[in-house]
Amino acid sequence: MAKQILRINMSKLEATYEPVPEKWARWGGRGLTSAIVCDEVDPACHPLGPNNKVVIAPGWVSGSPAAPSSGRTSFGGKSPLTGGIKEANSGGLSSQKIAKLGLAAIIIEGMPKDGKWYSVFVNKDGVKFEDAGALAGKGMYEVDTLMWKKYPNKPAVIGIGPVGEMKLSNAGISVNDPENEPGRYAGRGGLGAVLGVRGVKVMVIDDTGGPGVDVANKDLFTEGRKKLTDAIQAHALTKKDGGLWTFGTNVLMNIINEAGGLPTRGFSAGQFEGAAKISGETVAENIEKRGGVGTKHHACHPGCIMQCSSIYTHEDGTAFVSSIEYETSWSLGANCGIDDIEYIAQATRECNDIGLDTIEAGNAIAIAMEGGYLKYGDKAGALKTFDEIRKGTPMGRIFGQGTEATAKAFGVYRIPTVKGQSMPAYEPRAIKGIGVTYATTPMGADHTSGYTIAPEIAGVGGKVDPLTDTDKTGLSLTFQAATAFIDSTGYCLFIAFPILDIPEGWDGMAKTVAGVTGQDVTGEKVIDIGKEILKKERLFNEAAGFTKEDDRLPEFMREELLPPHNVKWTLPDEELDKVYAWVHAG
C-alpha cells in the first residue's frame, strides 16, 4: 500500500489523507519534515502564528520488520527559539506506529477557532478529535497514564506539558516510551509551543490493524539488516556490555571533564570538581546498589539493541526517572555548579513532566545564576524555578523562554547560544571542531548536528587526516551531511559510531534504506543526499532573515580564556563562512 500524508486541520477540525506527492516521495524523517516545511511554511511567518505548522515524520525504515534501533520520529516546523527551521527527533513509541499506519508524515496546521485544547486520536479508521480541556495544565506523566487507561492498545502518546500550553520557546514535544513514561523528547527549539498554538494537547497513535510498512526488496533489506545489526553488536560503544550499554550517554561526563571541555558554571571553566558524582559511572553504581526496578539498559523504543537509556531509582528501588542523559546531567548539574545526582534526577523529572528541553532549561538556570538571581550550586533555588514555570508566574515564563530571554531579563552578556539556541555539553574553546558545527548548523547550537566517528579511525565516511588537515570547516560539513541523512532513516543517530567504523555496517545501513524504499541509495550517495537536506534548511533560514553573522559563536568566547587550557575561540569568521559557501556556488 502506498504511503499517505495525513493532514490535520485544527481550524476546521478535519483530517484528510493525501497521496505523497512526487516531490516528497523520496524523503523520510528529517529530510521529509524539512522538505514539507520549506514547501508549506512561509519562512517569514511568526513561529507562533497561524501560518506555521508541525510536521511529524517517521524515518525511511521505521516500522519495517526488525530494523534495529529504528524508532526515531522527526518533528519539524519553524522554531520559536531560533526563528529558523527546526527538526528535533525523539525515540519512544511514535515512529514505528505512525509508519505502520501507512503514513509518511502527519502535517498539523491551523488553530482552533474556539481556543480549546484537543486530543487527536489516530488509528487505522481515521482521526478523532476530542475536547481535552480536562487535560489542560496537567504534566506529561499524568497525561500518558490517562491515555493508556483510555486507550487499551498501548498507543504512542505525543503531547505537550504546561510549557507548551503557555507557548514558551523552550517547550518540547514528549513521546512516551515502552513503559509509558514521558522521558523521550523532541526537545530542542520550542516545537512544543508550535503544537500548543495548534490547540493540540495530546496525540494518540494506535497502529492496531494498520497496513504496516512495505519492503520493496526483502532480500536486500534482510542482507542490510544483518550487516547493520552485526556492526552494532561488534562496536565498542554500541555492543552489549559496551559504553552506552553500561553507562548510557553519560559515559561522556568524566571523559569530557578529564579533557577540560566540560562547560562549568555558565561556561566559565572546562573542568568541574564534582563531575564524577553526576556521571554515568555514579548512576550505574546507584542503580546496581539500589536494585528494584532500576536498570542500566533500557530501550527507548521497541527493537533497540543499543539500549543506552536507563531507569534511575530512588534509594528504595522504586522508579525515579528515565533517563539521565549526559547533556541533561551536565546542563542541570555541572553547568549550574551542582554535583548532586538526586537533584538532577528530580530536575529531569520536572522537565519531562512540564515539557522542557533539559539543555535549554539548565542553561537558563545557569544564566540566572550568572545574573545573580540564584547562586551557583543552589539546588533549592533551581528546583523552585520549575515550580515557577509550572505555575506560569512571570518569572517562570521568563525561564520557560530559554537562555537568551533569561539573559536579557537578568542583564547577562555571557550567553552561550547560537541562533538563539543554547549550547550543549561540549566547550567549543576546548573541543574546537564542534564549535564549527555549533556556529553553522541551520538548527542553532546543537551537538547532534554533526555526527561521525574519528576520521583517523573510520576511513569509511570520508578519509581525512585530522592531524595534518586543519580544515575543520570541511570536516564539519561532512559531519552535518551524514547526520542529516541518518536523521532521515529513522535509525538512532548512535548507529553512526559502528557504521562509520565498520564498512559492512555502512553498507548494511544503505541497503536497508534501499531495501525498504526501493530507491537507489548506496553508501557513496549518503553525503550528497545529506547535503540536499542541508541546502533546503539553509535556504529556509536565509529567507527567514539569517545571514552569515548568525553563524558565529558568542562574543565572550573570543574574549575570555577558558581554564584549564586557557584558550579562546580563535577560528576566523571567514573560515566559518566557507562551510555553507557551496549552497550558492552553483
Partner 1 sequence: MASCITAADGEHRNRSGTSLADIQVDLNLYGTLAAFAGGKYIAQKKVSLHEGAVIRDLMDLLAIPYDQKSYLFINAVLCDVPGLLASLGEPLRDGDRVGIFSLQHMWPYQYRDGIRMSESLTEALRKHGAIHNTY
Tell whether residue 558 is a contact of partner 1 (CB under 8 A).
no
Given the rule CB under 8 A, which of 317-325, 383-391, 405-413, 444-452 is the region that contacts partner 1? 444-452
Instruction: Identify which of residues 44 and 236 has a Cβ nearer to partner 1 in the complex.
Output: 236
Among residues 235, 297, 511, 536, which is the contact residue for partner 1, using CB under 8 A?
235
Among residues 433, 462, 474, 523, which is the contact residue for partner 1, using CB under 8 A?
433
- In angstroms, what is the minimal distance from the CB of 2 to partner 1? 37
Q: How far is CA 136 from CA 108, 162, 199, in A?
A: 19, 8, 11
Instruction: Identify which of residues 504 and 560 has a Cβ nearer to partner 1 in the complex.
Output: 504
Number of H helices, E strands in the chain: 22, 17
Given the rule CB under 8 A, which of 188-196, 236-244, 341-349, 395-403 is the region that contacts partner 1? 236-244
Tell whether residue 561 is a contact of partner 1 (CB under 8 A).
no
Tell whether residue 64 is a contact of partner 1 (CB under 8 A).
no
**Which residues are bridge partners to 119 per DSSP?**
130, 202
Q: Say which DSSP state 567 is in.
A: B
Tell whether residue 196 is a contact of partner 1 (CB under 8 A).
no
Closest CA to 253 of 429, 424, 377, 425: 425
Q: Are strands 4-9 and 103-109 parallel, antiparallel or unpaired?
A: parallel
Three state DSSP letters for 319-340? EEECCCCHHHHHHHCHHHCCCC
Work out the burial of residue 191: count CB atoms within 10 Å of its CB; fewer than 13 is exposed, 13-18 middle, 19 or more buried. buried
- In angstroms, what is the minimal distance from the CB of 432 to partner 1? 3
Asked if 468 contacts 485 with a C-beta cutoff of 8 angstroms, the reply is: no
Among residues 272, 426, 491, 546, which is the contact residue for partner 1, using CB under 8 A?
426
Compose the 284-323 pattern: x for residues touching partner 1 by CB under 8 A, - for all others.
Answer: xx--x-----------------------------------
Tell whether residue 330 is a contact of partner 1 (CB under 8 A).
no
| CA 406/CA 361 separation, integer angstroms | 10
Tell whether residue 66 is a contact of partner 1 (CB under 8 A).
no
Among residues 241, 316, 520, 549, which is the contact residue for partner 1, using CB under 8 A?
241
Half-sphere exposure of 550 (CA within 13 A, CB side): 19
Return the H-helix or E-strand segment holding 174: strand 173-175
Among residues 265, 290, 384, 565, which is the contact residue for partner 1, using CB under 8 A?
565
| CA 10/CA 300 separation, integer angstroms | 30
Tell whether residue 36 is a contact of partner 1 (CB under 8 A).
no
Q: Among residue numbers 464 through 523, which ones bind partner 1 (CB under 8 A)?
A: 466-468, 472, 475, 479, 496-497, 501-502
- In angstroms, what is the minimal distance from the CB of 437 to partner 1? 7
| CA 147/CA 98 separation, integer angstroms | 17
Tell whether residue 43 is a contact of partner 1 (CB under 8 A).
no
Tell whether residue 248 is a contact of partner 1 (CB under 8 A).
no
Query: Using CA atoms in the order 436, 437, 439, 442, what is the torsion angle rounded to 10 degrees?
Result: 150
**Which residues are bridge partners to 563 per DSSP?**
none
- Contacts with partner 1, residue ranges (CB under 8 A): 234-237, 241-244, 246-247, 251-252, 254-256, 258-261, 270-271, 276, 279, 281-282, 284-285, 288, 426, 430-435, 437, 447, 450-459, 466-468, 472, 475, 479, 496-497, 501-502, 564-565
